[in-house]
Structure formats: C-alpha cells, structure tokens
Amino acid sequence: MAKPYAAEQLDHDGLKIIRLTDSAHRIQVSILPSLGNRAYEMSASGANILHFPFESPAAAKNDNHLNGIPFLAPWANRMPDGFHANDRHYIFNPHLEGVRLDPNGIPIHGLLWASPHWEVAQVAAGNDFAHATSRLEFWRHPDLMANWPFAHEYEMTYRLTGGALEVSVAIANLSTDPMPIAVGFHPYFEIPGVPIEECAATIPVRLHVETDTRLIPTGATTPVDFSGVVALGQRRFDDGFTDLIRAADGRTPFAVEGRGKKIEVTFGRRYPVAIVYAPPGQNYICFEPMSGLTNGINLAYEGKYPDLQTVPAGGRWQESFWIRPTGF
C-alpha cells in the first residue's frame, strides 16, 4: 500500500530537484534548490497552481524573470540609494552577484532570488507530512557580504501536510550588530484553465501604501477603496497594503477563486505587509508576504516607519506562510 506522504531528491535535466507528495490530497510540490531554493510546482490534482511558464526547471535557470515562489532577501522589493542601519549608510555595488535592477535602475528583490548557494539539509516524510529543509550561509560569500555586511544564515523549510504547504524561513544573525529584517516572498498563483478575469480575490487589508512614481513608498497610507472581495475582471493590482485584518489565530488569509476552485494564502503574524500584484495582460496574481514596507529600512531611518523589524546580534527571526488549494 502506497504511503500517504513521500519526499524525494531527483535528477531532472541534470539538475537536482526535491519533490514532496501528499497522495491523499493529490498535491505535489517540486523545488529547485540551485535557483534560490524556489518551489516551481505545486500541483493540485495534476494542475500546477504556481505560475511557471517553462517546460522544465532547466529553462527557468536561464531566465531572469520571477515565477513560482521566489524568496526575496536580505531585502524585498525596491531600495534606492543603499540603506541606513546602526548609524551607518551602506551603498550597493550593482556589479556584484545577485543584484537585480528595475527599469529605473533601482536594486530590487535583494540578492538571493536566484542564488545557487542553498544546501539541502534534510528531506524526509512521515505518516502525516513531507518536508525539505535547505540552508544558506550568507557570510561565506564575499560578493553578498559586500552589499549586505551582516553575517547571517537562512534556513528554509517546505512542509506539506493535511492538504496545505507551509513555507517557513528562519534567519540567524551572527553579526555583532542588530540586523534589519526586510525579507519577503513573491509567490505567483494561477487557477489552471480559469481566466483571471473570471476570478475574485479576497484581500483582507485596511490601509493602502502610497508611493511615488518609482513605486517607492512615501511613508503615507490611506484607507483602501474596496471591500474585502475584489472582482479581478474589474480591477488589477500592483499595490502594497498594511494594517492586515487578522483571524482569531493572528494570521491573515488571502485568496483567489474562480469556477469553484480556490487558492488560500495565509500570512503569519510577522508578515504585517502585503503586496498584491495582478498586472493587466497576465493570468496570475501574487499575494506577497512581507516583513516590512518596501524601503522600510530607509523610511525607519527617516522617522516615517516605526514598525521595522530587527533581529539582535546573536538572535533569530522566523515566520511562515501557508498555501491551501481546494476544489481541484
């Protein structure tokens, strides 16, 4: 009799991948450690609910666009002119490893969105779970340290159980100074076979983050101009939100649904900011869990953002978000 959960390390087109399976709920998750430890497949009843416009993971390795579930660290989204921390001003070197620039020449999405430096630590399954843990020792890489001079390490776990995928990241600060926490994820979701124009999104937020023309937050917020459920045939998004509406357990559930199918994306408490990205002409939506505002490190320095999270020297930060497909 087949086991309900499985966890495997496989070769695919010459690349090492990890595959987690929940047979009872017909869910399979595939991860490519050498591409930022990115999950590129979460199939529900054989249909991939992650936007991944490639025939193979090898093709994705040769493309600079984001897809699947990219991890954005040590900062997420745009941060112009370097950053201020511990009474110092650090300037980015755009010619070093991992730096990605937006059309305005602003560094975006950190340094690890496609990093090859992840090392698989554990792949295991039991009677009620399958999981994979990988680690990245940031301090070992001079190019990375030159742009973010805090010795630290990451541990990321994908855990599949009970029909849902938990994506957990822990950050250990090994440096002698407090380190700002400005990380996030940029997961791309689609309901296969359902046009995005027929879908509705649940966006449980109260405040919209105001930005300048470069999409850099100004520090101001305004009340949202929509109710909790938005028809995506009428409105698209490239917006940040805060003051998330939390359930009794402290978490915030976002969702997209259409034709009886639903993808729920639930943020843990330490993700107090959401970016929702559903651009015109594309058939996906991103619910992006963020530990802070875009450019929040510099906004905090300017006295415009009191909620920046930090981890003390020798300390550890950890949070999760969860993905649950239903109706597939």
Q: Using CA atoms of 165, 35, 46, 122 in order, give the dihedral in degrees to the nearest 10.
A: -50
- In angstroms, the CA 131 to CA 123 distance is 6
| CB-based burial label for 87 (10 Å; 0-12, 13-18, 19+) | exposed
Question: Model's pTM, two decimal places?
Answer: 0.97
Domains, in order of start, for the chain: 5-326 (2.70.98.10)
**pLDDT reported for residue 323:** 98
- The pLDDT of 267-279, averaged and rounded, is 98
Q: Which residue has the higher pLDDT, 13 or 324?
A: 324
pLDDT digits (tens, 9 = 90+) for 166-202: 999 999 999 999 999 999 999 999 999 999 999 999 9
Note whether 38 and 45 are within 8 A (CB).
Answer: no
Q: Which two tokens stand for residue 147?
A: 């742009």
Alpha helices in 5-120 (DSSP H): 57-61
Give every CB contact of residue 280 below 8 A, 6+ residues apart in sequence.
Answer: 236
pLDDT tens-digit map of 114-153? 999 999 999 999 999 999 999 999 999 999 999 999 999 9
